[in-house]
Structure 1
């Protein structure tokens, strides 16, 4: 059974964060593998991936690893202390606040668990899903030269409101005759309503993390270019959901599969094509689809995710 611990950040001592630290195996290189959650799943979603990494650790070695739940998420039942001043608890803090908290968490874990007081000597490899991918990009921008590798699993579309992916039947210039075969106006309306209800940044979140300003923080999917510890770009792998699996997921949630096929998946694919350009071409891999996986790739295909992590670690360790 996995044992989780709690820590108070020096910057926010009144609240505790739940985390799990995994010591390194057969390597002493100062590397920390950090898993960054989506909104829909907690740190427990990485357990099967980590279990598969440990299966091969005696042969390959494995750096220290860290999972955690953000304030107001999963086993971190304490809210971000800054939320107390917010008029809307679903928009209590933003992605940059989370990034600064993560930096403080890494700083304290490095000192406490690794004996590293100066984290400029610590190389980070981030594995992230959904909103976690946006957080890792912001981390790399806020703290350049710290991230050696990034595995981005089905990144959130940081620069859209999701509703705008679909044509607007109520727009003055809308022409029904231009719709692809089989696409009905009522299906487009349903998909726009679904996107507004589920994904629109104005909705906020149960954990208090707001995305209202995310498109301003990350306006471009292909930039800015990131800087790794060696002065070059980090190793970046971009993975997206399997398109057929995404159709099934969206249908189960009430959005027609055909609309996902015609609009959502191509839009997501173009975003990921650009996302792969945030590092140097020779250090970029992808985008490509994770076999059989919907949006939560680590849950649906942990073996695949473990393999991609191993490939990045082989370049860093």
Structure 2
């Protein structure tokens, strides 16, 4: 991967840091079924583009004798990693750009990259997104805004875009209808209050972040996990995009939630958080053409064994294999 700096023509005075790989021309290029495919990695809020590097290294090793896409790109969004802050953010509030602004910027970035490095119009390419956490709803919003452009999405433990991570997960002890006697065994009212406080502080959409990504309208933009479905590839007569949904390992996720900075006991995660996340992931499998049933616990959702929320960090080899499998499928399936 080669590190680059690029300035969007639509936002002067600020730069984005990107890392790219473009395979050298070969005699077999015309016979490459992935010659129109651009592989794009979308970060969550926490981990920057550099955390994809090991997965991409293993991907290129896996595909040393297989077809490669026309290009691979990772990038840090404005205000994230090595990129500059978004010059359009207002100076007098901790809230800045929202998801719709991000996908507009992403489209401009991909337009410039395809022209500068591939000498092609972006519209001549099919996009495959590899996304973690909030990158997954960004992929969905991009596909809806630019219909026909997305051929596949690998969702690595998607953020629950329609959740406020407080009332949507936990009962409210201060609600008149709350009944402490109906709490799961081993869970107290104090446990519920603590979990609500911690999740509100870490994950509520109103919580600000260094990126100044305003998440307060996410639930309005994507109120359902299972819809709207992704538009067909290349137009109304094309096939549905391939959607591969990967969830975290419930045991490892609960352990990391308890032992990390969140410090929420495993019993809380197991009783309230994981069931909601599992149901959300099942909804995501309905967005496009889904993978075959792979596990009894997840149905069409694959489970990344031994991985918490940041699957690309915990098991980059697993991520590389999933990308390679997705590319193999797309190479066999005409649009």
TM-score (norm 1): 0.95
1:51 aligns with 2:50: no
Runs of 4+ in 1 over 4 A off after TM superposition: 25-28, 281-285
Alpha-carbon separation, structure 1, partners of 2:317 and 2:38: 20
CA deviation after TM superposition for structure 1 residue 87, in Å: 3.2
1:272 aligns with 2:281: yes
Task: State the secondary structure of the residue aligned to 1:294.
Answer: coil
Task: State the secondary structure of the residue aligned to 1:9.
Answer: coil
- Unaligned runs of 5+ residues in structure 1 are none
Alpha-carbon separation, structure 1, partners of 2:105 and 2:131: 16
1:87 aligns with 2:92: yes
2:269 to 260, 263, 271: 260
Structure with greater proportional helix content: 1
Task: State the secondary structure of the residue aligned to 1:128.
Answer: strand
Tell me the equivalent position of 1:191. 195
Alignment of 1:170-189 (within 5 A): 170-189=174-193
2:242 to 227, 232, 235: 235
Alignment of 1:298-309 (within 5 A): 298-309=312-323
Alpha-carbon separation, structure 1, partners of 2:4 and 2:106: 16
Task: State the secondary structure of the residue aligned to 1:53.
Answer: helix
1:125 aligns with 2:114: no
Alpha-carbon separation, structure 1, partners of 2:197 and 2:290: 38
Tell me the equivalent position of 2:297. none
Deviations 1:67-115 (A, max 9, x none): 0000010011x111111x25313x1110010000000000000001111
Measured at CA, do residues 226 and 21 of structure 1 come closer, stay the same or move farther in structure 2, by a change above 3 Å? same
Moved more, 284-293 or 211-220: 284-293
Task: State the secondary structure of the residue aligned to 1:240.
Answer: strand
TM-score (norm 2): 0.90
Moved more, 57-66 or 6-15: 57-66
1:16 aligns with 2:21: no
Asked whether the equivalents of residues 227 and 286 of structure 2 are also in contact (C-alpha less than 8 Å), the reply is yes
Asked whether the equivalents of residues 235 and 284 of structure 1 are also in contact (C-alpha less than 8 Å), the reply is no
Alpha-carbon separation, structure 1, partners of 2:203 and 2:97: 17
Asked whether the equivalents of residues 38 and 128 of structure 1 are also in contact (C-alpha less than 8 Å), the reply is yes
Measured at CA, do residues 284 and 10 of structure 1 come closer, stay the same or move farther in structure 2, by a change above 3 Å? farther
CA deviation after TM superposition for structure 1 residue 144, in Å: 0.6
Alpha-carbon separation, structure 2, partners of 1:168 and 1:282: 37
Task: State the secondary structure of the residue aligned to 1:181.
Answer: coil
CA deviation after TM superposition for structure 1 residue 281, in Å: 5.2
Alpha-carbon separation, structure 2, partners of 1:30 and 1:15: 30
- RMSD over aligned CA atoms reads 1.5
CA deviation after TM superposition for structure 1 residue 133, in Å: 0.3
Task: State the secondary structure of the residue aligned to 2:257.
Answer: helix
Tell me the equivalent position of 1:312. 326
Alpha-carbon separation, structure 2, partners of 1:155 and 1:186: 29
